[in-house]
Amino acid sequence: MFVLKLVVLLSITTSFVICEDVFSLLPKKFELDDPEECNNGIFCKISVALTPYNSSTRPESWSKIEDMKRDYHYFRHDKLLHGRCFRKKHSKSLEDIVKDEYATKYRNESLKGNVETYVCMEKGRLLLDDIDYWDLFFISIGIIYVVFMVIATAYTYSAEHQKDNFFIKFLSIFSIIKIWGELRKPIKMRIFKI
């Protein structure tokens, strides 16, 4: 039993050391600057795809990335997600600054970074880039429903004396006061009595 425990312990520590060696060769999958400290700059969320810098030679880091792509236990290290702060330079556009930096950033590992997507925002500026049409659709339905409930509550409260009117009965279904009153009524069915 002792021998089995020793073999398991040695295999785990060996695989841990091997993984540490492999991860030291790979670029960071996630890299994030603090967006709050990006004063006088532009914070960008960037998606980068790595490729070998020279297609004729296969660097060691790229072969490790390829090995890890096949193993589903690990993140794909050829797709990077970074959040970076860039300083404004008037001579270049922001797109050129981002693409130039990532094209040369991993040259020491013989890799080239191709920027797939990036979304940038200035500090203190609210951008609704992450909200799509479906989000706007459901937000507008929610706002319309809340406005309808407020109108129904106000109308049924002002027309309290017209209880026989069908329109008032229909609006009372959405009235906040009527709903609250129904919830506070005591339960009269024997099944629910304690």
Beta bridge partners of 111: 52
Tokens of 20: 């540490």
Q: Is the pLDDT of residue 133 over 70?
A: yes
What's the length of the chain? 194
pLDDT (tens digit per residue) in 27-59 = 777 888 887 787 777 888 888 888 887 766 666
Nearest-angstrom CA–CA distance, 82 and 78? 13
DSSP H or E segment with residue 84: strand 79-87
Q: Is the pLDDT of residue 143 over 90?
A: yes
- What DSSP character marks residue 36? G
Radius of gyration of the chain (CA): 30
What average pLDDT is seen over the chain? 76
Q: Are 46 and 115 in contact (CB under 8 A)?
A: yes
pLDDT (tens digit per residue) in 4-35 = 555 455 455 444 444 556 677 677 778 888 87
Tokens of 191: 């099944």
Three-state SS at 93: coil
Q: What are the residue ranges spanned by the domains of the chain?
A: 25-122, 133-187
What pLDDT, on the 0 to 100 scale, is given for residue 18?
Answer: 46
Q: What average pLDDT score do residues 82-100 get?
A: 79
What pLDDT, on the 0 to 100 scale, is given for residue 3?
Answer: 54
- What DSSP character marks residue 90? S
